Amino acid sequence: MNSFWEGRNVFVTGASGLLGSWLTEELVRRGARVTCLVRDWVPDSRLMEPASLARVRMVRGELEDYACLLRALNEYEIDTVFHLGAQTIVGTAARSALSTFESNIRGTWNLLEACKACGKLIQRVIVASSDKAYGSHDILPYTEDAPLQGRFPYDVSKSCTDLISFSYFHTYRLPVAVTRCGNLFGGGDLNFNRLIPGTIKSALLNEKPVIRSDGTFIRDYFYVRDAVDAYLQLAERLPGEQFVGQAFNFGTETPVSVLDLVGRILALMGKTHLEPRILNEANHEIPKQYLDCSKARRMMAWQPSFTMDDGLLEAAEWYQEWLTRSGAHKASLGGLSVMR
């Protein structure tokens, strides 16, 4: 660990989310003075644990509120911004495109405009996009020069996030870089409609896991601790000339189908007798998405530190502890049977 973050004033949007809570924790551990933008009070978020809250500054507000963003950046003399805040659930976006566009698109230009207004302070801005920004392509894996052609509401919001970010770089020379990651997973994600937390919870409760698609969709899955490392490494290179105005894919480059992933989780947890229920109800989803991360390897010498199995096992241990703490467990809750 180097001293790069010691004493830096860092602003994190979406700090109560999966990536935001882990990133905030690591920034604090490295000595940064972290200010978090939080819209809703989410008691189950890792950020809301007393030990975490005591070490950060909290701004209650929304990305749609430009005045709030400007005040926070200015008053706390922020030099580094991690823009992670967004509506991230594909199904929610399909049900309410307007609220998704408000938070993800308007929220992005509001934040970047506030960064521009505080240009004498801001040294680096990392904007979280997504592999969904690419939309559907016949040629895979995605490289960073693939067209951004989202079609469904969430995908479109991320395509726009990308384009707005680069507009602020090319027009105003704002020191922005964009990340495009695969599907993040890890302890702390309590949206059990997502595949990995839902499957782990079902396995711990000895229930059949639910697959909402037909099971054939192919994705990258990216452990949150590796994502934190990628974000920090990229931020430390800004505002270097080679990195500003650039997008970087981050992931494991090991695409897997939904059915295969569920089977892998059940095997690791010793619960192969639980036959998944396939609902085949997924809509507004792209059948195949996975990333080429050679640019990050080439320019940053970056690679993930965790194998898929290591990440899944750590996540499963976190969920087991959470179920016990929360009282949500049943009498049938058993320990993990780790297959290595």
| Residues labelled catalytic | 154
Q: What DSSP element (H or E) covers 111?
A: helix 107-117
Q: DSSP assignment of 124-186, as one string?
A: EEEEE--GGGGB--SS-SB-TTS--B--SHHHHHHHHHHHHHHHHHHHH---EEEEEE-EEE-
- By C-alpha distance, which of 131, 10, 128, 140 is closest to 73? 10
How far apart are the C-alpha atoms of 156 and 90, rounded to whole Å?
Answer: 11
Q: What DSSP element (H or E) covers 57?
A: strand 57-60
- By C-alpha distance, which of 177, 178, 174, 69 is closest to 116? 174
**Amino acid code (one letter) for 133:** A
How far apart are the C-alpha atoms of 73 and 231, rounded to whole Å?
Answer: 20
- Based on its alpha-carbon atoms, the radius of gyration of the chain, rounded to whole angstroms, reads 19
